[in-house]
Amino acid sequence: MNGTITKSLTALRKTKSYRDIVFALWEANPISKQILGICSALAVTVQLQTALVMSVALTLVVAFSSMIISILRRLIPRNIRIIAEVAIIATLVIIADEILKAFLYDISKQLSVFVGLIITNCIVLGRAEGFALSNPPFRSFMDGIANGIGYSSILMGVAFLRELLGSGKLFGYAVIPDVLYQIGYTNNGLMVLAPGAFIVIGLFVWLEHTLLKKNR
Amino acid sequence: MSDRLKSVVFAAVMCVVVSLLLTTASTGLQRFQQQNILIDKHKNILQSVGLIDPGQKIDPEGVEKLFGESIKPLWVDPTGQLIEENNRGEQSLPVYVHVKDGGIEAYIIPINSRGLWGRILGYLALEADGSTVAGFTVYKHSETPGLGGEIEKRWFQKNWIGKQIVDQAGEFVSVGIAKGAVEQVIPKQNRPHYVDGISGATLTGKYLTAGIRQILEQYEPVSIKFRNNPANIRPPDKTGS
């Protein structure tokens, strides 16, 4: 039993998708390694809920835009390729925004302009230009998923710390017992503001760089 | 096909496909979005009179039930006379009243003011004495997040509660947004007519102050009625009580 699991795990580890995902999650993480998409990472990480919705929206947009661009890669004329890429990305983002407005209205109000700003998020255009234009559709799709997960992992990590330290809650539920507040614990107001996110992201970048160095 | 022609054809086809997709998404989802916007408006009206707290979790059915029970939409003409909804003309003004035990607790005025980047839409609730602000909410605006966008935040809206739109002599003065903290920039006797400003959003404050003054002036006939004789004003029978 154990043997088959190990065997299938090694087989899994050998697939291209697996290597792509690990690479995008760790060695080439869009936020902590390439420092892309910082704008939204600062803005929507006050709460886990908004961070999660943003992560899902961005992951789906990167994955599908990469796939569509990859399918069209031989058709897109080179001289207008950026325009074509942006048009495809913008379409997907607007559709995502409309869906949020229809079914998650309160969250879409909180995310305000940031869903729309996925269009200008460097991660999306970066994957389109750097990967999808020269790789087949399925790999591009997986690459989009991988980078989306890489982005999401940092976003959720930052949001976890900010919501916990800034408002004493996780997903809107109070997790810090009242007793602690009574004996003098207070929420850290800095965590609710954008500079708090800067510091937390900085710490994540530091942590990852230190760990990567050790591995070498 | 030459490269240039190929680019033009590709761009044209792409435009058609993309616009078809967007139109489908937009029209297909419109029904749900408008329902959401309506519920959000009702939620804001309830919030302006303190029936629900901002941030309180409440499902759409709960909002509609509470709205139906305690809020009555009415129409008035420019002289403050109640009119039938069917007879309303261009001059008619909408007003919502918060009804409790058959009497009017507060009346709610829709705010549609100029902002720095676009219209600011919200509600201003006044108590039945016709002068005390019961609450202020914003449900739509295009101000810069973090600066003018703070108008949608609790800390800003909280400051409106209890402010007076008339001075001690009974003259209409409206409520304005100070340029800074009220305690520091406004002389003591005028403090009931100002709320704390937002740093970095002087213009948003200026436009909103002007917008609210203009709207309150329009509704002044209604407010005067409440000020003169609040006890006599009852919600019309056909709509409730």
Q: Structural domain tally of chain A?
A: 2
Domain that includes residue A191, residue range: 164-216
Are A90 and A34 found together in one domain?
yes
Say if the Cβ atoms of B25 and A95 lie within 8 Å.
yes
Q: Is B119 exposed, middle or buried (0-12, 13-18, 19+ CB in 10 A)?
A: middle
Percent of chain A with pLDDT over 70: 98
Range 178-207 of A in CB contact (< 8 A) with B? 194
The dihedral through the CA atoms of A4, A5, A10, A11 has a sign that is positive
Are A145 and A86 found together in one domain?
yes
Rounded mean pLDDT, B163-172: 90
Structure tokens at B109: 């005025």
A–B interface: beta-carbon pairs under 8 A: 52
Rounded mean pLDDT, B42-51: 91
- d(C-alpha B229, C-alpha A148), whole Å: 63
Most confident of A147-161, A179-193, B57-71: A147-161
Q: Tell whether A157 is covered by a domain.
A: no
Confidence at residue B20, expressed as pLDDT on a 0 to 100 scale: 95
The dihedral through the CA atoms of B128, B134, B139, B145 has a sign that is positive
Q: Nearest chain B residue to A83 by CA: give it.
A: B11
Rounded mean pLDDT, A173-197: 85
Q: What is the pLDDT of residues A107-127, one digit of tens each?
A: 888 787 788 888 888 889 989
Are A35 and A104 found together in one domain?
yes
ipTM, 2 dp: 0.75
Nearest to A87 among B18, B29, B33 (CB): B18
What is the nearest CA distance from A117 to chain B, expressed in angstroms? 13
Among A102-106, B9-13, B144-148, the least confident range? B144-148
Confidence at residue B28, expressed as pLDDT on a 0 to 100 scale: 93
Q: DSSP 3-state assignment of B133?
A: strand
Dihedral angle, C-alpha A166, A171, A172, A178, nearest 10 °: -60
Q: What is the pLDDT of residues A194-213, one digit of tens each?
A: 888 899 999 999 988 888 88
Q: What is the pLDDT of residues B177-219, one digit of tens each?
A: 999 888 888 898 889 999 999 988 899 999 999 999 999 999 9
pLDDT band at B235 (very low <50, low <70, confident <90, very high): low
For residue B12, which residues of chain A lie inside 8 Å, CB to CB? none
pLDDT at A28 over 70: yes
Rounded mean pLDDT, B96-110: 89
- d(C-alpha A75, C-alpha A69), whole Å: 9
A94 touching B (Cβ < 8 Å): yes
Q: Tell whether A8 is covered by a domain.
A: no
Residues whose CB is less than 8 angstroms from the CB of residue B68 and which lie 6 or more positions away in sequence, other chains included: none
For residue A194, which residues of chain B lie inside 8 Å, CB to CB? 146
A164 touching B (Cβ < 8 Å): no
Are A168 and A196 found together in one domain?
yes
Rounded mean pLDDT, A83-93: 93
What is the nearest CA distance from A125 to chain B, expressed in angstroms? 18
Q: Tell whether A39 is covered by a domain.
A: yes
Are A77 and A148 found together in one domain?
yes
Percent of chain A with pLDDT over 90: 30
Distance between alpha carbon B32 and the CA centroid of its chain, in Å? 22
pLDDT band at A174 (very low <50, low <70, confident <90, very high): confident
